[in-house]
Amino acid sequence: MKRDPYANNLQVRPDGTLRHFLSIEGLDQALLTRVLDTAESFDAASQKNVRKLPLLRGKTVLNLFFEPSTRTRTTFDLAARRLSADVVNLDINASSAVKGESLLDTLRTLEAMRSDLFVIRHPQAGAAEFFARHVPEGVAVLNAGDGRHAHPTQAMLDLFTIRRHRPDLENLVVVIVGDVAHSRVARSQIQVLNLFGVRQVRVVGPATLIPSGVEQMGVHLYSSLDDAMVDADVVIGLRLQKERMRGPLLTSSEEYYQRYGITAKRLTLARPECLVMHPGPMNRGIEIDSEVADGPQSTVLEQVRNGLAVRMAIMALTMGAGPGLATESGQ
C-alpha cells in the first residue's frame, strides 16, 4: 500500500493541497513553490490593473489580531478584499477576550458567524494551530505570527522577494542579523531558506539574543557581523523585540548599532549586488542605517508590496481557488 506523505499533516489535505498555513515546518518545497508561482500570477494580474478577482466572492475572512500590527494586518485585509471576500477586523481591545473569555470560546463564537477563513496573530506560540485543530472542515486558519514560534507568510514573502532578484537560490549566502532569540520571523526564514536549498544561512547577533543550539537549525553561527557579511548575497536585519525581552539583554542601543547595525561600510564587505532586507518596522540608527534602508540595494518596500501577492496566494489556495484563475478579468 502506498504511504500517504501527508498523513496526519494538519496543514495539508490528503490530495496535497493546502488546508491551513501555520508553519513552514511540515510543508514541502513543491507545495511552497506553488504558493510562490500563484503569487507571481496575482502580481502579474495587478500589473495589468486587475485590482479585484472573484475567487473568494461569498467568503468571509476574519482578521483576529491579539497583538498590534500594521503591515501584516493591512496586507491580509487588502489581500482578502482583492479576492472579493467580505472582511471583518475584530477589535480585540473591545472583545470578550479581554474579559477573560477562553480562546476556544472565542473561536466558537466566531464560528457561529460562519467565517470561512481566520487570520490569527497571538502572543502565545501554538495559538493558530489550536484554532486549526478545532475549526470544522472547509474553514481555513492562517498564522499571522504566534509568540516566538512562527511567521510563515513573512518568510514566504521574503523568499518571493529573494527569488525575483536571485532565482539561483542554491548559490546564495544569506545573513540574518539581530534578535534571533525572540524572532518568529527568523525561525520561519531559516526553515524556508534551508528547505529551498540555499547554500549557506549565517546567523549573527549578541550572545544574549541568540538561542542556544541555533546551529541545529541548519545555520552557521557568527559572532562578528563584519565576518558574516563577507561574500553575502542577502542580509536580513531583524527588529529588536524589546517587548519580549526579560531583563537587560543589551548594554545599549549605541553599542548594538556599532557592532550589529547594517551600515553602508559593512555592505561593502558583501557581494556588489547584495540585497538588504528587513521585515519591519525598522529601528533606524540601531538595526540599520537610513542610507542603507533607503538605498538602491534595499528591498524593504518591495517586501511590503510582495506581501500582498503572497498572502492573496495563500488565501486562495487554502480556499481551493486554483492559480490559473488569477488571470481572470477583475471588477
Distance CA 115, CA 61 (A): 6
Residues with active-site annotation = 71-72, 99, 121, 151
Does residue 13 form part of some domain?
no
This prediction has a pTM of 0.91
Q: Environment class of residue 247 by beta-carbon count within 10 Å: exposed (0-12), middle (13-18) or buried (19+)?
A: exposed
Residues 212 and 285 in one domain: yes
Distance CA 47, CA 256 (A): 40
Residues 236 and 128 in one domain: no
Residues 294 and 319 in one domain: no
Does residue 89 form part of some domain?
yes
Residues 319 and 222 in one domain: no
Residues 235 and 319 in one domain: no
Does residue 323 form part of some domain?
yes
pLDDT recorded at residue 5 = 53
Enter the C-alpha cell of residue 216. Answer: 541545529
CA-to-CA separations, 265 to 69, 173, 289, 292, in angstroms, rounded: 32, 19, 10, 10
pLDDT, one tens digit for every residue, the chain (331 residues): 344 555 579 999 999 999 999 999 999 999 999 999 999 999 999 888 888 999 999 999 999 998 888 889 999 999 999 999 999 998 666 454 544 567 778 777 777 778 899 999 999 999 999 999 999 999 999 999 999 999 999 999 999 999 999 999 999 999 999 999 989 999 999 999 999 999 999 999 999 999 999 999 999 999 999 999 999 999 999 998 654 444 445 668 889 999 999 999 999 999 999 999 999 889 999 999 999 999 999 999 999 999 999 999 999 999 998 555 444 434 3
Residues 144 and 157 in one domain: no
Does residue 1 form part of some domain?
no
39: containing domain: 29-150+307-327
Residues 313 and 183 in one domain: no
**Number of structural domains in the chain:** 2
Residues 237 and 166 in one domain: yes
Using the structure block, give the residue that is written with the C-alpha cell 502572543: 123
The contacts of residue 113 (CB under 8 Å, 6+ apart) are 60, 62, 88
Residues 99 and 192 in one domain: no
pLDDT recorded at residue 134 = 92
pLDDT recorded at residue 326 = 45
Residues 240 and 136 in one domain: no
The DSSP string of 256-321 is HHHHH-B-HHHHTTS-TT-EEE--S---BTTTB-HHHHTSTTB-HHHHHHHHHHHHHHHHHHHTT-
Residues 131 and 159 in one domain: no
CA-to-CA separations, 254 to 9, 64, 117, 208, 285, in angstroms, rounded: 45, 36, 43, 16, 8
Does residue 197 form part of some domain?
yes
Q: How far is CA 172 from the centre of its chain?
A: 20
Tell whether the torsion through CA atoms of 120, 121, 126 and 127 is positive or negative: negative
How many residues appear in the chain?
A: 331
The amino acid that residue 303 corresponds to is: Q
Q: Is 165 helix (H, G, I), strand (E, B) or coil?
A: helix
Does residue 156 form part of some domain?
yes
Asked if 64 contacts 95 with a C-beta cutoff of 8 angstroms, the reply is no
CATH number at residue 109: 3.40.50.1370
Residues 122 and 214 in one domain: no
- Under DSSP, the state recorded for 138 is T
Does residue 187 form part of some domain?
yes
Radius of gyration of the chain (CA): 20
